[in-house]
Amino acid sequence: MIYVDNAATTKLDSKAFEKMKPFLLEEYGNASQPYSFSRNARKVLKEARRTIANCINAEEEEIYFTSGGTESNNWAIKCFDVNCRNNQIITSKIEHHSVLNTCKVATENLKFLNPDSNGVINPTELKELFEDNKNQKAKLENILVSVMLANNEIGTIQPIKELAELAHSYGACFHTDAVQAVGHIKIDVKELNVDMLSASAHKFNGPKGVGFLYIKKGTSLSQLIIGGSQEKGMRAGTQNVSAIVGMAVALKENCENIDANSKHITEVENAFIDKITENKLDFIRNGYINHLPGNVNISIRNGNGEMLLHRLDLMGICVSTGSACDNVNNQVSHVIKAIGVPSDYAEGTIRISFGKENTVEEAIFIADSIMKIV
């Protein structure tokens, strides 16, 4: 089996797994209990928070553990400035469904930023929206802007620093869904100047069902889950100690090797692109200007992404047609529509997301397999 769907999920890091085991089997104490049996669980939770904070240059108190990217996005969007219901949210047309659908529920006052044909959001468009709001005397400090750091389908990295600076210059709050980016490109929340950032462990070789939300001190966000005092009462519920420990180990491991991993993955990616180009496949590469290493999204002329996925599956290769949600609906994804891929190419879209474990030989084998099918 050749697994090249690392944007969907990644293999658990073996060091992370080793560190997780004792907290499932032996040291299973509830981290909130005061007795000595739970002392180590409490200690490792604190250490994990510190490790994660260091990886993104945040403060320890600004990291809140969640069940993953979807929950973090829900929290940031639904619980922002709740005293002011139906506040305006500005987001982009190419967000993950956990942002798009949450925004639709959170407000009726939703505005969209359009990507260009490369999948990049232009800060000028955001400025124009704020100027419109200003002219209509809207309360700018109640506006939430949520734009993803890197796109899950086409891998484009957005100009988050510029967008966040712009939002702040009008007094608004800025959230970024960094689920695809954390552990894969360097992230410094202070430099990016974001107020909230979502991450998910299973995208960076951590376990599934765990993630975090970075909440900058002073951000107007209310509690997500009501109950006990875990996560400072903001997200109640017994913490999943082993998963959190695994997440911290996996993130540290990825962050320490970010340059080497990125170099290797880019070599693999280039080998694939060179091979299909050399073989004269008629394709468009989507969103490759300033993209995540390893994310290759191509639209093949007169192709059928769904058919390709299943034929490759029969050959033992796991790829995707886009995001998991659109796979179920079996239609051209909202991202491919938003960047305006021509209709004779759009249906032939597949996403190959190489990871650190893939090799150049695998990339060439996949390219040859696609050529055979097409």
Which residue of 102, 133, 158, 180 would you call a contact of ligand PLP, by CB under 6 A?
180
- Rg over CA atoms, the chain: 21
3-state secondary structure of 187: coil
Pick the piece of the chain touching ligand PLP (CB under 6 A) from 13-21, 36-44, 172-180, 354-362: 172-180
Among this protein's residues, is 325 annotated catalytic? Answer: yes
Distance in angstroms (rounded) separating the CA atoms of residues 306 and 308: 5
Within 96-125, the residues that bind ligand PLP by CB under 6 A are 96, 98
Binding flag, residue 321, ligand PLP (CB under 6 A): no
* Smaller CB separation from ligand PLP, 69 or 305: 69
Residue 115 or 211: which CB sits closer to ligand PLP?
A: 211
Over the range 124-157, which residues count as b (16 or more CB within 10 Å of their CB) and which as e?
ebbbebbeebeeeebeeebbbbbbbbbbbbbbbb
Residue 66 as a binder of ligand PLP (CB under 6 A): the answer is no
Using rule CB under 6 A, residue 207 touches ligand PLP: no
Q: In what helix (H) or strand (E) does residue 54 lie, and over which residues does it extend?
A: helix 39-55
Residue 119 CB, shortest distance to ligand PLP, in Å, is 13
Taking a C-beta distance cutoff of 8 angstroms, is the pair 55, 251 a contact? yes
In angstroms, give the least distance from the CB of 202 to ligand PLP. Answer: 6
- 136-155 binders of ligand PLP (CB under 6 A): 148, 152
Specify the stretch interacting with ligand PLP by CB under 6 A; choose among 10-18, 41-49, 176-184, 310-318. 176-184
Tell me the CA end-to-end span of the chain in Å, nearest whole number: 21
Q: How far is the CB of 25 from ligand PLP (least distance, A)?
A: 25
Minimum distance from residue 364 beta carbon to ligand PLP (Å): 27
**Structural contact between residues 269 and 325, judged by C-beta atoms closer than 8 angstroms:** no
Q: By rule CB under 6 A, what count of residues binds ligand PLP? A: 13
- Output 7 or 370, the one with its CB closest to ligand PLP: 7
* Cβ distance to ligand PLP smaller for residue 133 or 146: 146
Window of 69-77, 156-164, 230-238, 285-293 that interacts with ligand PLP by CB under 6 A: 69-77
Which residue of this chain has its Cβ atom nearest to ligand PLP in the complex?
Answer: 69
Question: What is the contact mask toward ligand PLP in residues 70 to 99, using x (rule: CB under 6 A)?
Answer: x--x----------------------x-x-
Rule CB under 6 A: is residue 200 a binding residue for ligand PLP? yes
Specify the 3-state DSSP secondary structure of 109: coil
Closest by Cα among 247, 230, 224, 246 to 31: 230
Give DSSP secondary structure letters for 343-357. Answer: HHHHTTEEEEE--TT
Q: How far apart are CA 267 and CA 281, in angstroms?
A: 20
Residues sharing a CB contact under 8 Å with residue 325, sequence separation 6 or more, in sequence order: 97
CB of 160 to ligand PLP, least distance (A): 13
Q: Are β-strands 317-318 and 283-286 bridged in parallel, bridged antiparallel, or unpaired?
A: unpaired
Q: Which of 55, 79, 173, 325 is catalytic?
A: 325
Shortest spacing between CB 29 and ligand PLP, in angstroms:
26
Nearest CA-CA partner of 154 in 358, 365, 364, 353: 353
Beta strand spans in the chain (E): 2-3, 63-66, 89-92, 110-113, 144-146, 173-177, 196-200, 211-215, 283-286, 295-300, 317-318, 349-353
Q: Is residue 179 a contact residue for ligand PLP (CB under 6 A)? A: yes
| Minimum CB–partner distance for residue 95 and ligand PLP (Å) | 8
Question: Using CB under 6 A, which of 155, 211, 246, 305 touches ligand PLP?
Answer: 211
Q: Which residues are catalytic?
A: 325
- Summarize as ranges the residues that interact with ligand PLP (CB under 6 A): 68-70, 73, 96, 98, 148, 152, 177, 179-180, 200, 211
